[in-house]
Every structure is written in C-alpha cells, then in structure tokens.
Amino acid sequence: MTELARTMGISAGQIYRVRQGKRGINQKFIIGATQAFPGYKLDDLFYVQEAEVDQTPGGRRELIMNLLLRRPDMGYKEIADIVGCSRQRVHIVAKTAGLTRDQKPRNYRKDVTVERVLEFYHQGLLVKDIAQALSCNNFTVRMRLRAAGISKSECYSRSMKLDWRGRSSKIGAAVGGPE
C-alpha cells in the first residue's frame, strides 16, 4: 500500500480511508491512479455509482445548499422531498447561510399594490374598509401597509377607530355618542 501511495503521490492513509469508505475519491486520487496504472483506461480503474443521499446532518446540509444555490426556481418543499427532511429544515439551512428567497404566496394579489392601499389609507379609511373597496382580505391590506413602512401597531389601530371613550366609533354613532 505504501508503494502504491508513493506512486500515486498521495498518503497511504488516504488510500485506506478511501477503501473503508470514509473518504471520497477526489481529482488528485484519480490522477494518481492513472499514473500508477498507465496501461489501464479510466473506465477500467473506476466505475460510477449513483450516490445515496448522505443521511448525516452535514451531508444533508451540503445537499440542501447545493440545491438552493443551483436551483433557485425550486421551492423549499421540493428540496425537502428530495433530501428527505422537513421544509422547515431547508428554511433553517437557507437562513443560516444567508440565502433568502423573495417568494410571494401562490395567491398573491398583484392588483392590490402598496400605492393603491396607501391612497385609501391616507384618506383615513379603516383597514377593513380598504379591504372591502379593493375586494381583498384585511391581512392583504395590512401586509401592503407594512411593506410601505407603517408599523404593525398603526395597522392594527386603523382596524377599528375608537371614540374618546374607547368604544368603536360605529357603536358610538349608533348610541348617539360622539364620533
């Protein structure tokens, strides 16, 4: 083994680790093998075997990273199905690596723009009234307001206007109180 390692230009320990499956075959190993056995073709020395998914945490993480970087069109769920883990795990790996995807939900309303929502908002309309005017959900209106830089508390306070007593202005109007 030591003579083979010397001919290949690598350490004997590397040959042992490759034989035990603890180390993969790299470019230097292949070049060394072709130098050690010049009468053989590459196909005679090596064969390609479909690799199984490495189930160690580091192996999965590496595979997830490769898919995230090489396939930006692929969703977290698809990657999770390939790797054999949860969608949340893929998200955590992406987040720790600093990879973010600007994904909009499948039912994203392109017609409800931030500008349209702000137009109604600055007229003093409630969130639910804006949603009704745009035929969308209250949540959609709040998300567009948040995208415009309006705080979460301001979005919720606009959900229902209160009179000076802390009651809904509609209730106050129905009872005859001030608006």
pLDDT value for 172: 38
Asked if pLDDT for residue 165 goes beyond 80, the answer is no
pLDDT value for 132: 92
Q: Between helices 87-96 and 57-70, what is the axis angle to 10°?
A: 80
The reply to whether the predicted model has a pTM over 0.85 is no
Q: Where are the domains of the chain?
A: 2-45, 57-96, 114-169
- Grade residue 160 by pLDDT with cuts at 50, 70 and 90: low
Side chain identity, residue 21: G
Q: Is 87 exposed, middle or buried (0-12, 13-18, 19+ CB in 10 A)?
A: middle
> What does the pLDDT look like over 60-117, one tens digit per residue?
888 888 888 887 777 888 888 888 888 888 888 888 888 776 655 556 778 889 999 9
pLDDT value for 171: 37
d(C-alpha 150, C-alpha 153), whole Å: 8
CB 94, CB 101: distance < 8 Å = yes
3-class state of residue 164 by DSSP: coil
> What does the pLDDT look like over 1-59, one tens digit per residue?
888 889 889 998 988 888 887 777 888 888 888 889 888 888 788 766 544 545 555 67
pLDDT value for 25: 82
Look at phi and psi of residue 56 and say left if phi exceeds 0, alpha if psi is from -120 to 50, else beta. Answer: beta
Q: Is 102 exposed, middle or buried (0-12, 13-18, 19+ CB in 10 A)?
A: exposed
Asked if pLDDT for residue 177 goes beyond 50, the answer is no
